[in-house]
Amino acid sequence: MEAQRSRSAALFNNRYFARVVEAINELAPSDEAFFTTRGVAAHTGLSDSTVRPVILRLADAELLSRLPRLGGPRGPQHFRIEASPSWEAVVSLALSLSSTSVADTPDQTRTR
């Protein structure tokens, strides 16, 4: 887990970015599914204040869309994945950070 956080920090400038992306992918597996910051936080065991900046960065990059708030401006903000090759690439990279280590990477695939 610590190795994933270190790699996430190096690539995304946020130690929890990869874990949040993984959780979003697990919670909203279809184009129709939606999620909230609180739901992702509960799923990961992270705080809302740790999850929120990652979700907002993904929304700013147009990888997530903000849905209209139900219940007025103080209601929870729901998000939906914008299915795209970019989203798939981010998910693939996030998943690879948790499933590999530098020691597992063959020398011939490393770039210098």
- Is residue 21 in some structural domain? yes
> Which amino acid type is present at position 93?
L
- Is residue 110 in some structural domain? no
pTM score: 0.83
- Is residue 111 in some structural domain? no
- Is residue 40 in some structural domain? yes
The whole-number pLDDT of residue 100 equals: 56
- Is residue 109 in some structural domain? no
95, pLDDT greater than 70 = yes
104, pLDDT greater than 80 = no
How far is the first Cα of the chain from the last one, in angstroms, to the nearest whole number?
25
CATH number at residue 9: 1.10.10.10
Q: What's the number of domains the chain is made of?
A: 1
The parent domain of residue 79 ranges over 2-101
- Is residue 39 in some structural domain? yes
